[in-house]
Amino acid sequence: MILSTSLNSTSYSFIDKLKAIDYFLIIIVAIIGSMSVFSIYSTESGNFSFYTKNHLTRFLVFFFMFLVLSFVRVSFWYRQAYIFYILGILLLLLVIFFGISASGSKRWINFFIMNLQPSELMKIAIIVCFARYYHRIQSSDIQSYKYLLQPIILLLIPCYLVITQPDLGTAILIAGSGLAIIWLAGLNLKYFIYSGLILLVSLPFVISILKPYQKSRILTFFNPERDPLGAGYQIIQSKIAIGSGGLLGKGFLQGTQSYLEFLPEKHTDFIFTLFSEEFGFFGSMVLILLYALLIYRIIRIGFSSRSFFAKLYCFGFASALFLYIFVNIAMVVGLLPIVGAPLPIMSYGGSSMLSIMLGLGIVMSCKIYSRDSIGN
């Protein structure tokens, strides 16, 4: 009995925990965080006002939260995984009834201190939920229809709720993260190929249910000059800003495109554009490298984790993080259509910051409690 309990719940001294922390990861997050504060400061033309203050406060609060969450035992997340998921769904349902609308979509709930965007929380919840789900399943069962159907339903519910807000971008990111975990868990390649084909076939139907602005965004993506003052405006101006940045950029606070307000949504989805305009190709590469290092550290933590849940979560979160970053950057450089997708840590937005820091907190807890092996 003593032996088995010690196996199930390894005890850690506080010193052990401090030693186990991945300080390198924390430093990377801190660096990206400070870069984001300076970028937001630049969007306000060098005034330390509303956005900068808000962003700085949020970053500091959630960064602290991330550090605190690191000490929450990973088994807690394992146990609460489904509760977390259900909470996410409930919040999404709340949005329908009590949500706040802004620019044509209903995505937020007023929580007094901040407007919470439940879809952002759902991004993490789906990873935790799937990690637990596949942790429990025998490898031989993974390919069976019974065990395949459940995660698909679990994925479709939040995706549907988010699409109807409407927020196509976040829905795609949630779906992408979920699929990444299913892939990591080992689902046969043929299912991915089949579902890809089905998607292709149903594409005309999907297009028909898209909102006009979404259709226009997709059409504009293929030809931004189609509507240079309307839907194509953002992407054209973003490309101009990035391109004119050149190798070393126009310099901090010197980005004319953003300073003169040619750049839309520069605080949020287009923060990379501003950064890239001011710091050029060199700066962009540094930022991308920092993100790559962050992802690398998370994957490393996954490898060092004993439990399958922790592994799957870390790899899944790393993949999701990559997906967020890729979709955002690809979008602002004109490789993907404009769908609302913030750049992790860099973009202004409390919910996004919250979800990333929450995700990182769980990663760090996987690191600190890496020796935990979680039973059924």
Partner 1 sequence: MIKKTDNLNKNKIISRRLFVLVAAKIGLLGIVTSRLYNLQISEKQKYEVLSDKNRIREWKTPPQRGIITDYFNNVIADNQRVYQVHLSLEEVSNFNNSIFKLKNIISLKEDEIKKIYEKKEKSKPWDTLIISENLSWNEFSKLNLYLHELDGAKPVLSTSRYYPYSNDLVHVVGYVGDATTQDIQNKKKIEENFVPGLKVGKIGIENSKDTDLIGNHGTKRYEVNASGKKISEISYNKETQGENLRTTIDLEIQQMAQELLKNQAGSICVMDIYTGEVITMASSPTYDPNKFTHGISTKDWNEIKNNNLRPLLNKSLAGLYSPGSTIKPLVALAALEYGIINTKFKVNCKGHDHPYELYGERYHCWKKNGHGLMSMRNAIKQSCDIYFYEVARLLGVDKLSLIAKRYGLGSKVLEDFFSEEKKGIVPSTKWKKQVLEQPWYLGETVITGIGQGYIQTTPLQLCLMTAQLANGGYKIKPNLIYDKEIDLDTIKSKIESEKNKSVSQNILKDHEFKHYERLYRNPNNLKLVLDAMYGSTNEQFGTSFKSRHKEDKYKFAGKTGTSQVKRITDQDRELDLDLDEIEYKSRDHALFIAFAPYDKPRYSLSVLIEHGGSGSKAAAPLANKLIKKILDRHELREKIRKDLKNIA
Q: Between the CA of residue 267 and those of 90, 200, 258, 261, 343, what are the distances in Å?
A: 29, 34, 10, 11, 10
Site for partner 1 in 332-371 (CB under 8 A): 333-335
Binding mask 265-294 for partner 1 (x = CB under 8 A): -----------x---xx--xx--x---x--
Nearest to 78 by CA among 11, 130, 132, 125: 132
156 vs 105: CA distance, rounded Å: 20
Site for partner 1 in 121-140 (CB under 8 A): 138-140
277 vs 335: CA distance, rounded Å: 17
**Which amino acid would we find at residue 242?**
I
339 vs 64: CA distance, rounded Å: 30
Count of Cβ atoms closer than 10 Å to residue 84 Cβ: 20
CB-CB contact of 246 with 278 (8 Å): no
With tokens 């977390």, the residue in question is 84
Binding mask 172-211 for partner 1 (x = CB under 8 A): --------x--xxxx-------------------------
Q: Is 110 helix (H, G, I), strand (E, B) or coil?
A: strand
Site for partner 1 in 298-317 (CB under 8 A): 299, 302, 308, 311-312, 315
| Contact window for partner 1 (CB under 8 A) among 49-57, 163-171, 243-251, 358-366 | 243-251
With tokens 């994957």, the residue in question is 299
| Contact window for partner 1 (CB under 8 A) among 26-34, 87-95, 257-265, 353-361 | 257-265
Q: Is 347 helix (H, G, I), strand (E, B) or coil?
A: coil
Nearer to partner 1, 68 or 292 (CB): 292
Nearer to partner 1, 118 or 255 (CB): 255
Q: How many residues bind partner 1 (CB under 8 A)?
A: 45
- Quote the least distance from Cβ 243 to partner 1, whole Å: 3
Separation of CA 81 from chain center: 18
Site for partner 1 in 37-76 (CB under 8 A): none
| Contact window for partner 1 (CB under 8 A) among 2-10, 16-24, 153-161, 233-241 | 233-241
Residues making contact with partner 1 (CB under 8 A): 138-140, 180, 183-186, 237, 239-247, 256-257, 260-262, 276, 280-281, 284-285, 288, 292, 295, 299, 302, 308, 311-312, 315, 319, 322, 326, 329-330, 333-335
